[in-house]
A and B are shown apart, each in its own frame.
Chain A
Amino acid sequence: MKILVFVQQEEGKINPVSIEAIAGAQQIASQCGGSLSALTFNASAAEAVTSYKVEEVLLTEDTALDTYSPLHFVKALQNIMEAESIDLLVLGHTYEARDWVPRLSARLDIPFISDSVGFKSKNGLTLVRSIYQGKFNADVAVPEGKSIVSFQSGAFRADSIESGSSSVKKVPVELSDVSDNIRPGEKFQEAEQSVDLSQAEVIVSIGRGIGKEENLQIVKDLSGALGGELASSRPVVDAGWLESYRQVGSSGQSVTPKLYLALGISGAIQHVVGMKGSKNIVVINKDANAPIFEIADYGIVGDILEIIPKLTEKIQSA
């Protein structure tokens, strides 16, 4: 099996999720049998990858690939996968990968198993996907033919990567006929964040379980009593109940407080990536099967609307 891992970079700086993907691809190569190469579009990133255990590092340089452009990325990978007869393409499941890899999958008619959380090597390669927003895992396989796999951030540990030494091989691609129907602009950030949640010791975070906007007051009271910062999952921000800078997760802030109190939050991966590094995670959720309990230090199966006011009262009189 010929395996290729795509290494995403920005101005030569390798995306951390790509480092995890290299570690994952190394494990697949050794456990399922296969030869592993890496591919990147930047010379200094390529140089950096030569210090990891891979057969060779493919380097494709083209001004059209210097910054992200979906149609150019797809065409480049199409050429390289065909020229190198790749059986398995591995990537980190970044927002960038989400944007162009499905298109490659359709173009090459190769299935894309996206956002996998791990793999198993018994009877060939099986991928593990987390579905129903983290409630279940699914083992899936592509019994015949080629495949493309992306791994979620955290699926492999970056420090488990094996070092080695390999050389860089330049692979040219022909991109002059790529259409300009998609024209990406500059990246920008919206107004300054007015609360830096990453510095907070205590975060009281609410989810859709709060039910309605009027109920927010009890959470504000609790957060006040604990001297903490208020935060939330995405649906609370989408509904316009809290400012977007209070959102924790992949499209919001990442936090590591001493105490993260998760109230009425189910524990979807896009939320969890932003808070799993918290020192102590205390969860209150009425559903004992909510995935958020998987990462809880302390868990309470109960109704937040009943518990929050009581808790505030007790803290105030403590």
Chain B
Amino acid sequence: MKICVLIKQVPDKDSPLSISDNNLSISESNITWVANESDSYALEEALQIKEKQSGEVVVCTLGKESAQQIMKDALAKGADRGILLSDPAFENLDILSTAKAIANAIREEKFDLILSGLQSDDQGNSQLGLLLAELLDMSHASMGMGTEMTGDSGIKVKRELESGWFQWTELTLPASISIQSGINSPRYATLKGIMMVKKKTVDELNAEAVGGDSINSKVQLKNLYIPEKSKETTFIDGSPDEISDKLVDIFKNEIKVLN
């Protein structure tokens, strides 16, 4: 089983984020980069499938040079090699163009499975794995909350639907599946795993190598800003002691949930 896992580098949840002066990008000083949350679950799912079936897990990202770190983290957890697409020309690619670049980079690898996160925590397109399915002529399923191989040529995916509903979908390989968080418990890298990283490779590809000239973003970013508040909020401040007193008063006399 040859599996590709797509991992995107995104700001850590606790990183302070601000908008740059041009109102078109996020200021990148003070950001700690991590792998997108659902992508970590996708990687774990791939490693578990490999452990059952044998094969190879290749991690792939399109991003800045700094994305080497999330590649290394994935290799330390057990991925076999990496592919990093990096080029200044890739900045501000829309998601369809990103998909085309990645499709060109991995087409010849003929993966049996592509696993991705269901949604990036920064852009939140919820598209990439499914765009790749079409571009590489694979079957697909989104929001995977469980997988089960069915012989050599198929896989069953338990898909999450709205409000607590699920559905099993059967796919013929090759397949691209987007993974929802919570599907498994992602492992930590072991010391041995970290030692192994040196022996593994990350291939770097630039725009030219993936047909960059023919890839043009059709979506244009016009402006970035902080959303306006829709509600009037009463802010309560003070020490924890004072705040608690005020809250008890509000619970009793305003909201009336305490006697």
Q: Is the CB of A315 within 8 A of B224?
A: no
A contacts, CB < 8 Å to B:
70, 74, 94-95, 98-100, 102-103, 105-107, 109, 111-115, 126, 129-145, 147, 180-190, 193, 201-202, 208, 226, 228, 234-235, 237-238, 240, 245, 250-254, 258-259, 266, 279-280, 282, 289, 291, 293-303, 306-307, 310-311, 313-315, 318
Contacts of B128 in A (CB 8 A): 102
- How far is A135 from B13 in the complex, measured between Cα atoms in Å? 11
Residue of A nearest to B14 (CB): A287
Supposing A103-B131, A135-B17 touch, asked if A299 and B234 sit within 8 A by C-beta, the answer is yes
B contacts, CB < 8 Å to A:
11, 13, 17, 19, 26, 37, 94-96, 99, 121-128, 130-131, 133-135, 139-143, 159-172, 175, 180-182, 185, 218-227, 229-237, 240-241, 243-245, 247-248, 250-252, 254-258
Contacts of A145 in B (CB 8 A): 218
- How far is A253 from B163 in the complex, measured between Cα atoms in Å? 6
Q: Is the CB of A299 within 8 A of B121?
A: no
- Interface of B, secondary structure class, is mixed
- How far is A163 from B91 in the complex, measured between Cα atoms in Å? 44
Contacts of B232 in A (CB 8 A): 297
- Interface of A, secondary structure class, is mixed
How many whole Å from A299's CB to the nearest CB in chain B? 5
Contacts of A306 in B (CB 8 A): 240
In the assembled complex, 23 residue pairs joining A and B whose CB atoms fall closer than 8 Å, in A order, are: A95-B161, A106-B131, A106-B135, A133-B124, A139-B223, A141-B219, A143-B218, A144-B218, A180-B172, A181-B172, A182-B140, A182-B141, A184-B167, A185-B170, A187-B167, A188-B166, A238-B182, A251-B163, A259-B255, A282-B255, A294-B229, A303-B240, A310-B243
Closest 5 CB pairs of A and B: A238-B182, A106-B134, A102-B130, A181-B139, A102-B127
How many whole Å from A103's CB to the nearest CB in chain B? 4
Q: Which of B167, B224, B235 contacts A188 (CB 8 A)?
A: B167
Q: Which of B222, B225, B233, B248 contacts A140 (CB 8 A)?
A: B222
